[in-house]
Structure 1
Amino acid sequence: MASRPVFIPTLAGAQLTHERSFEFNWSSGFAESQKKKNVVALHNAAKRAGLENVLEISTKSDVEVGRRLSAFSLRINLQGFQYPLESVYQGSKVFERQGPFPEIFEFQPREAKRFIREIDAGNLVGFELETKRFPLSPKNAYYDWLYIRALAGHSEWIAANIDYDGYTDIEFNPEKQVNCQARAFAELKSLSARSELEQAVGDFDYFASRLSPI
């Protein structure tokens, strides 16, 4: 058995999202077919609890828009240039002895992640992008902010065309990881519905203040 969360946008109240976790039979293995089985099992568990319509946001989604919303598929505009979102996240990292690494913004996401894994620069101390420093806390704030910033220009299309009860990322294990693209997308939906998206994209501190602690 495994337990994984579904992230649900909220339209009112202090929290941007509501998280509900569901247990299901886990299909082990690294094959894509096994991961897709887990998506189906998680969504079926959510459906039994009343969440009829759930979108998987990852490269393992069986819906094209779910795959396109994966952080590995998105690109972010920086000073007129488009870069892979995941590569910008990795290249923004600042360690005790090195960083940031804007030279890897153009790398493919897996190459950027490998570059960061292989350096020996001490502990992560923050992030830096466009000469501005960003803190490590809230833990998911910088990643989520980059994600919603990448999609903000498509917010009207998203509001009109993507309407699900909740969002999942089968690769996300809350016991081992902090960043989750499904959570970030649910936050975007909530901010858009509350007419706060523009302010959140333009002001990192405001966005961070809207997040629940992890």
Structure 2
Amino acid sequence: MTNQSCGTSKIAGASFSLHPMSDDFIDIITGALKEVDTAKVWMKTDDVTTTVRGKMVHIFDVTSAIFLNAAKSGKHIAFQATYSIGCPGDSQGDVYLVEDDQPANALTCEQINQHIAAKFSLYPLGNDSYMDVIYQQIEAIKEYASVTPAHYSTRLEGDASKIFKGLQTVFEEVVNAGSSHTVMTVSISANSPSHGGDQNE
């Protein structure tokens, strides 16, 4: 019988897809991957998504770095990800928990100025007062982005590095508040014609 209880491992993960709206999408994706240090995470790509797993700090570091290095191409980039911690049965790859807490790509990413639009949804599973938790974190992320309500999600707009930092912060806050299984979905768009042109600074 499969264990259905929430995991106690501190290993976090993200399953993401990167979609460059360009004929040279392969070069953009492979180029971004070459720029990113992934040594501190477990990573595997299949025909649908790429999964990264390890310490929470490194999951956000690697996913944001891959997105930013693709977006700096100036092409329209769409990114979708599901972040999770506490998933039942999640144990493979725990060796990466011995890594230090220094994000490998932070200094490089800080030099990439990229305007984005995003939507996120937060799911503090196993918490009876989940709506209060969600509203608290929507307020908290206003420190990092322009925030407006949307159906089934919350819309964010602003600098990509700040927004990823905000997403990481609210995710960590929910985990630290006692959510036994925390999930967050994120959709991001960069350099879209609907944004009114290239908004790189």
The structure that is strand-richer by fraction is 2
Fold conserved between structures, TM > 0.5: no
Q: Which one scores higher on RCO, CA 8 angstroms, separation ≥ 6?
A: 2
The structure that is helix-richer by fraction is 1
Please report the TM-score for the alignment, with normalisation by the length of structure 2: 0.27
Please report the TM-score for the alignment, with normalisation by the length of structure 1: 0.26
